[in-house]
């Protein structure tokens, strides 16, 4: 039976996973996705003793879940919807665990399996529906800070005009890449290191305002450098380096939230 299931998964999803991994390589917005299945695998490995100690008790509830996953795979193929095809793999895995091993086993593997949704690139409509507001927010926040600092600034849409430089806040500068990466890191980190689910939720939610602030800071610093030292210093290598620097700043902020939540839990005697 196990050989049959593995063969079926390869037949259904071999091509899908190859194309998925190619997008991870080609699209820098999803380069973090390589770490998602690795993290899930580590979690499963840590729970191997608990899983091996269980007596398999298959649950028929897994059958409709399996059917839903396979149906989504077929519909995605017919409609050319990559997200549906790819995400259906996770539904099929969940259904297979339920059907063959039962609910107790599923409870042990639920988070590692569901976490795999982070390895699926968002549909383009959803991606841009998030990216566009982030672009606008970054432009408005940066313009407000620059004006607060006494720098003459004119905001036209998502373009910030200074006397020496104009900054266009494109999709690549929206901060969505940092947002998705921070959401993945914060959720995984909180799940492993925090004893309360609400604390993990707080840590994960903090990734949103942290990303907004960090991205606006990047635009402000870029504008100031271009204004004071020249356009050439605000482009090229600096622009790439500033992206990593701001992500490091965002991670430090996330570390601060984690430390604050952990301290609050310790003071109230909440432990793992």
Residue at a domain's end among 120, 145, 177: 120
pLDDT digits (tens, 9 = 90+) for 134-193: 888 888 888 888 888 887 888 887 788 877 777 777 666 667 888 888 999 999 999 998
> Quick one: 83 and 216 in the same domain?
no
Whether residue 150 is found in the same domain as residue 229: yes
* Helix, strand, coil content of the chain in percent (nearest 5): 80, 5, 15
Same domain for 159 and 248, yes or no, is yes
3-class SS of residue 154? strand
Percent of the chain at pLDDT > 70 equals 90
Both 134 and 246 in a single domain? yes
Structure tokens at 71: 């149906």
The per-residue pLDDT for 5 is: 65
Average pLDDT over residues 40-54: 89
pLDDT of residue 1: 56
In a domain, 100, yes or no: yes
Mean residue pLDDT across the chain: 84
Q: So what's the pLDDT on residue 202?
A: 94
Domain count of the fold of the chain = 2
pLDDT of 237 strictly over 70: no
Considering the domain architecture, whether residues 149 and 96 belong to the same structural domain is answered as no
- Across the range 64-89, mean pLDDT stands at 89
Q: Are residues 147 and 252 in the same domain?
A: yes
Containing domain of residue 34, as a range? Answer: 2-120
The Cα–Cα gap between 269 and 195 comes to: 11
Q: Is residue 259 pLDDT above 90, yes or no?
A: yes
Q: Is 66 within a domain?
A: yes
Q: Is 81 exposed, middle or buried (0-12, 13-18, 19+ CB in 10 A)?
A: middle
Averaged over 42-60, what is the pLDDT?
Answer: 87
Residue 34 has what DSSP assignment?
A: G
Q: Is residue 182 assigned to a domain?
A: yes
Residue 106 pLDDT more than 60? yes
- Last residue within a domain, chosen from 100, 120, 140: 120
pLDDT of amino acid 32: 83
Mean per-residue pLDDT, 11-26? 87
Clarify whether residues 168 and 101 are in a common domain. no
* 239 assigned to some structural domain: yes
Tell me, yes or no, whether 245 lies in a domain.
yes
The upper half-sphere exposure of residue 241, i.e. CA atoms within 13 Å in the direction of its Cβ, equals 8
Query: Bigger pLDDT: 269 or 214?
Result: 214
pLDDT in tens, 107-137: 999 999 999 999 999 888 888 888 888 888 8
* 214 and 247, same domain (yes or no): yes
- Return d(Cα 210, Cα 270) in angstroms, integer: 26
What per-residue confidence (pLDDT) applies to 38? 93
**Residue 272 falls within a domain, yes or no?**
no
Record the pTM.
0.83
- pLDDT attached to residue 60: 87
Q: Quick one: 261 and 226 in the same domain?
A: yes
pLDDT at 235 over 80: no
Q: What is the pLDDT of residue 255?
A: 93
Q: How far apart are CA 200 and CA 191, in angstroms?
A: 6
| Two tokens, residue 33 | 């996705």
* Exposure string for 215-225, b = 16+ CB within 10 A, e = fewer: bbbbbbbbbbb
Last residue of a domain, one of 73, 93, 120: 120
How confident is the model at residue 231, as a pLDDT?
62
- Is 56 among the domain residues? yes
How much is the pLDDT for 239? 60
Picking from 19-23, 57-61, 222-226, 234-238, which range would have the lowest pLDDT averaged per residue? 234-238
18 and 89 together in one domain: yes
70 & 114 share domain: yes
Do 36 and 132 fall into the same domain?
no
């Amino acid at each position: 039976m196990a050989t049959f299931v593995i063969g079926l998964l390869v037949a259904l999803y071999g091509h899908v996973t190859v194309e998925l991994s190619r997008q991870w390589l080609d699209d820098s917005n999803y380069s973090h996705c390589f770490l998602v299945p690795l993290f899930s695998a580590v979690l499963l490995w840590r729970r191997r003793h608990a899983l091996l100690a269980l007596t398999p008790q298959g649950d028929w509830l897994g059958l409709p879940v399996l059917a839903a996953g396979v149906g989504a795979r077929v519909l995605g193929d017919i409609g050319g919807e990559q997200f549906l095809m790819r995400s259906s793999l996770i539904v099929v895995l969940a259904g297979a665990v339920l059907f063959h091993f039962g609910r107790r086993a599923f409870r042990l593997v639920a988070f590692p399996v569901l976490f795999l949704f982070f390895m699926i690139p968002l549909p383009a409509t959803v991606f841009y529906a998030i990216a566009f507001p982030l672009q606008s927010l970054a432009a408005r926040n940066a313009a407000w800070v620059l004006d607060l600092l006494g720098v003459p600034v004119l905001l036209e849409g998502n373009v910030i005009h200074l006397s020496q430089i104009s900054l266009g806040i494109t999709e690549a500068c929206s901060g969505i890449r940092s947002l998705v990466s921070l959401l993945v890191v914060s959720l995984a980190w909180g799940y492993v290191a925090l004893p309360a689910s609400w604390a993990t939720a707080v840590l994960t939610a903090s990734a949103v305002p942290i990303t907004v602030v960090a991205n606006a800071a990047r635009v402000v610093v870029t504008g100031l450098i271009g204004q004071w030292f020249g356009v050439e210093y605000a482009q090229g290598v600096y622009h790439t380096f500033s992206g990593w620097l701001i992500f490091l700043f965002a991670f430090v902020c996330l570390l601060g939230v984690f430390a604050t939540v952990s301290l609050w839990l310790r003071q109230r005697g909440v432990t793992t």
